[in-house]
Structure 1
Amino acid sequence: MGRQPLSKAEHARGVWLGQVLRAARGNRSGVEVAAVAGISVETLRKIEHGRVPTPAFFTVVAIARAVNLPIDALCAD
C-alpha cells in the first residue's frame, strides 16, 4: 500500500516550514545545525527546501531546538 499523494495545501505547508527553519538558522552552517540536531545535512537541506513536506515531528523539534526556535513559533500560522 502506497502513500497518498499530498494536496497542494500540504505541500505548501512543507515549503513554509522549510522557509521558517532556514530563516531561523540564520548564518549558521547547515553542517553545524544538522550536527546539533542529530540529523544528516542532506535531511536538513531537503526539509529546508520543501522536498520533505511532512518531516517527522521529532526531526522538526530537533531542528527547532538546534536553531533556538520555539515550537510555538511553528504553530502560529
Structure 2
Amino acid sequence: IVCLFKLMMNCDLTELNSEADMAYLRQTFAIDIGANEQEACDRFEQVLLDSYRSSLKTRFDWFFHALNHIKS
C-alpha cells in the first residue's frame, strides 16, 4: 500500500505531496517500528476508527460518502 501511495504523490493531491506525508503514512502503518503486516493493518484500523469516532465532520463525510455509493 505504501508503494501505491508513493506513486500517487505525482497526482497533485494536497494531502499527499511530500516525503513528510509519506513519513506520516509509514508511522501510521507502524512500518518504522518494524511491525509485521497484521500489526500494521491493526494499527491502521485503530487510527481510522479513532478518527471516525472523534470527529463530527468525519462522521458527516463518511455518511455522505456512503450515501453517494448507495445512489450509484
Q: What is the TM-score normalised by the length of structure 1?
A: 0.29
Larger helix share, 1 or 2 = 2
Q: Which has the higher contact order (CA 8 A, sep 6+)?
A: 1
User: Larger radius of gyration, structure 1 or 2?
Assistant: 2
